[in-house]
Amino acid sequence: MKFICIGRNYAAHAAELHQEAPKQPVFFLKPDSAITRCNRPFFLPDFSQEVHYETEIIVKINRLGKCIPEKFAHNYYEEIGLGVDLTARDLQRKCIQHGEPWEIAKAFDGSAVVGGFLPKSQFEDVQNLSFHLLLNGNKVQEGNSRDMLFTIDQLIAHVSQFITLRTGDILFTGTPVGVGPVHINDHLQGFLEGEKLFDFKVK
């Protein structure tokens, strides 16, 4: 499986990184080795001094698809969840500065935290889902899927023009405003529509 991650899908987050809101979705990949699952701890890598949390709604692809029309995209996922796109912000800044690929900042081991999933059928509208992150008990990030610049269906349609989606692939749909650094012993808990979907510590 692979992770497909969307960059700058919330206008306020793009602004906090001093970047423009994109005209079409921007995406990058993480390999399967990036996964941190089942509330296992995340181990801070020693190559970065500034790893940031990015809390994101995630979508599990449930069938093979290529060039999926937007109107059929909803057939390609049944489960929706919450994850963290951990980002070595210091390395990412250097990559951007030098026009280099982002992998060392985004695709490293453990950088894709995958929490629990809920059936999409339990929600009236996947484009109206609230979510938030508690860092050591304090709410530091809060978003709603209605503020996405591109809807989940638009993202699936766009990405699948370039890359075949396979069963088990996970789409990270972008982070809202409020990203910040994690430190050793931090405790992160993520909630989607009030349900806790991840709970892990930084080691």
Cα end-to-end distance, the chain, whole Å: 26
Helix (H, G, I), strand (E, B) or coil at 36: strand
Q: What x/- string results for residues 178 through 197 when contact with Zn ion is judged by CB under 5 A?
A: --------------------
Q: Segment near Zn ion (CB under 5 A), from 44-52, 110-118, 159-167, 171-179?
A: 171-179
The residue range among 64-72, 79-87, 107-115, 142-150 that interacts with Zn ion, by the rule CB under 5 A, is 79-87
The contact mask relative to Zn ion for 103-132 (x = CB under 5 A, - = no) is: ------------------------------
Minimum separation from the CB atom of position 30 to Zn ion (A): 10
Q: How far apart are CA 145 and CA 9, in angstroms?
A: 10
Tokens standing for residue 148: 């996405």
SS3 assignment, position 134 = strand
Q: Quick one: 160 or 175, whose CB is closer to Zn ion?
A: 175
Closest CB 4 distance from Zn ion, rounded Å? 11
* Beta-sheet strand order (sheet of 112-119): 26-30, 3-7, 170-172, 55-61, 77-85, 112-119, 35-37
Q: How far is the CB of 96 from Zn ion (least distance, A)?
A: 14
Q: Which of 14, 175, 189, 192 binds Zn ion (CB under 5 A)?
A: 175
E strands, the chain, in order: 3-7, 26-30, 35-37, 51-53, 55-61, 77-85, 87-88, 112-119, 130-135, 138-144, 170-172, 180-181, 187-192, 195-201
Please state the closest distance from residue 176 (CB atom) to Zn ion, in A: 10
Q: Which amino acid is at 193?
A: E
Q: Where are the alpha helices (DSSP H) in 19-175?
A: 89-98, 103-106, 152-162
Q: How many CB atoms lie within 10 A of CB 183?
A: 10
Give 54 or 169: the residue with its C-beta nearer to Zn ion.
Answer: 54
Instruction: With contacts defined by CB under 5 A, name the span among 57-65, 78-86, 124-132, 187-195 that binds Zn ion.
Output: 78-86
Interaction between residue 92 and Zn ion (CB under 5 A): no
**How many residues form the binding site for Zn ion (CB under 5 A)?**
3
Select from 14, 54, 86, 182 the one that contacts Zn ion (CB under 5 A): 54
Residues that bind Zn ion (CB under 5 A): 54, 85, 175
